[in-house]
Amino acid sequence: MKYTYLGRSGLRVSKLCLGTMNFGVDTEEKEAFRIMDEALDSGINFFDTANIYGWGDNAGRTEEIIGKWFQQGDGKRERTVLATKMYGDMHDDNDGPNGSPGLSAYKIRRHLEGSLKRLQTDHIELYQMHHVDRNVNWSELWRAFETAQLQGKIGYVGSSNFAGWDIAVAQGEAKARGMLGLVSEQHKYNLLCRLPELEVLPASQALGLGVIPWSPLDGGLLAGNHRRKSEGGRRSSDEKRLEKHRKQLEEYAKFCDELGEPEDLVSLAWLLANPAVTAPIIGARTLDQFKRSLKALDVELDESAMKRIDEIFPGPGGDAPRAYSW
């Protein structure tokens, strides 16, 4: 297994991150246990979740499954670098008006305690803001995060779905308080979504954040879905996106055939080759899907392959400074 540092922190994590969004939804508990067992056995130590996973009235279910798995012992908790997120509505009547989506010192304290209870642990390595809340003062947030760190309940703080300038403001405020600040940004980034290359990736690199891409296969579009016939259960929005990108995807499929590698593994390998990326999130629903994704670590893309991929899926205009030059 390949490992890297989580941003400018001293924490080492695997180059692939196990995403648990499907646990308790599309993936039943026993299968989730098998996937997590296989992850640790394969050397993947970085697990990502969120307090709202399970969704709606079932919010928290995914964290509960992970907590039950930790309780099996055998060093499972000790060997796991655990990341979770907060921001959303946990559908807890006791939250009252403070349960609505957003950030606050109240939510950091109360929702952190809820996650710790469900996860059956006393600490979380990486505590992430699931979205930005520009109505809240950073002094309030950093004070709350600092308190949680001093109590030993969280190790590091990360962001998710932040714009480049949100990252810059957060880091400036943290520096003024003498804090490390953010160590990671979780962002949608893949071959069909390269806009983060303009600001989010350069800002993250310059300010010491590791990038954790979510939806690395863009809902399956980069995994060969266009080769399959339309399925009755597929959403119309998925069909529209597939048709919009069909020409690119067919060209990409042909290129991957020439490489002798499947599209999904090439898509992951392309992300792994980016020095700004810490670890793409693998959101496998089954053990077989998870095992397949591990093979991406063995796919090497040379300069000519990377150039060809850029031709098929052009970036947003090159490096940010040049893109903004006239």
Residue numbers annotated as active site? 53
Is residue 266 within 8 A of residue 301, CB to CB? The reply is: yes
Residue 273 backbone phi and psi in degrees, to 5: -80, -10
117 closest CA partner among 73, 160, 79, 153: 153
